[in-house]
Structure 1
Amino acid sequence: MKTIFRWLLASAMVFAGISHMFWARKEFQAQVPDAVSEVTGIDKDGVVLASGVVEVMLGSALVLFPKDRRRVGRILAAFFVAIFPGNIAQYTGRRDGFGLDSDRKRLARLFFQPVLVTWALWSTSRSHV
């Protein structure tokens, strides 16, 4: 079961990463906090492209490096935590993107991030629970 969920997560990450680079770049820019560009000097489009590359790499690593899956799972979980401020910025800035066009929808999205963190850790853990 974990293998199936790990492959689903890997596929979702690769798909999301590719979408960052092509058809959904503007949508993802709604999630980049203004402070990120101010601090790094990288414009929002650059941040979206870079995070897309990271997502493709992490998704691929979940499948390509089975011996390192626990480490990759922890890195992916940390990535989900690291991008959470973007989701908060989308909510507090009332930025539309991906059909999140109301405060209620943007707030609901915030509760999905812990699910992703848990999914990454569980699907890459050694236990059989």
Structure 2
Amino acid sequence: MSESAGRRRLRTTGRWSLAALLLGAGLSHLTWGRRGYRIVVPEWAVRMLRLDKDAIVVASGVVEGLLGAALLVLPRDRSRIGGLIAAFFVAVFPGNVHHWRSGRPVPGMRTDRARFARLFLQPVLVAWAIWATRSDGGSR
């Protein structure tokens, strides 16, 4: 296997893994984690969006699911979808900061250390979205 074929395979694996992460996160926002994730929604977001916390959690779950599905079924648009995924990860970051500052547990985030570590995961997710959806032909 050539080096470029190996990189393409790695990027494809990264893209499918990202899609699975988004689909799983979306599903959790719509089902078992829905109630707990309301804690992450800051009050200013409720006022700004004029939605209650539950509606914001549901909307974010729907968006995650749609982005994950789009990544799988729209290969010609994957770099654009990657940009949208990266933007989504940036958009939800204030909720992560609010969650860390609140110190309240949600599914999968029960400690201050876990909540703080997630803040550093967010830039990794942004980079992953951009890298995994980059054109295979590019040498960027």
> Could you state the TM-score of these two structures normalised by the residue count of structure 2?
0.87
2:89 aligns with one of 70, 80, 95 = 80
Residue 118 of structure 1, CA deviation: 0.6
Residues 1:20 and 2:29 are matched in the alignment: yes
Gaps of 5+ in 2: 1-9
Alignment length (residue pairs): 129
Give the structure 2 partner of residue 34 of structure 1. Answer: 43
Give the structure 2 partner of residue 71 of structure 1. Answer: 80
Residues 1:104 and 2:113 are matched in the alignment: yes
In structure 2, what is the Cα distance between the partners aligned to 1:99 and 1:14? 16
* Higher gyration radius (CA): 2
In structure 1, what is the Cα distance between the partners aligned to 2:114 and 2:21? 21
Residue 128 of structure 1, CA deviation: 5.6
> Given residue 47 of structure 1, which amino acid in structure 2 is its aligned partner?
I
Using a 3 Å threshold, how does the CA distance of structure 1 residues 105 and 17 change in structure 2: closer, same or farther? same
Gaps of 5+ in 1: none
Give the structure 2 partner of residue 124 of structure 1. Answer: 133
Percent identical among aligned pairs is 47
Q: Secondary structure at the match of 2:92?
A: helix
Give the structure 1 partner of residue 17 of structure 2. Answer: 8
Q: Give the alignment's Cα RMSD to 1 decimal.
A: 1.3
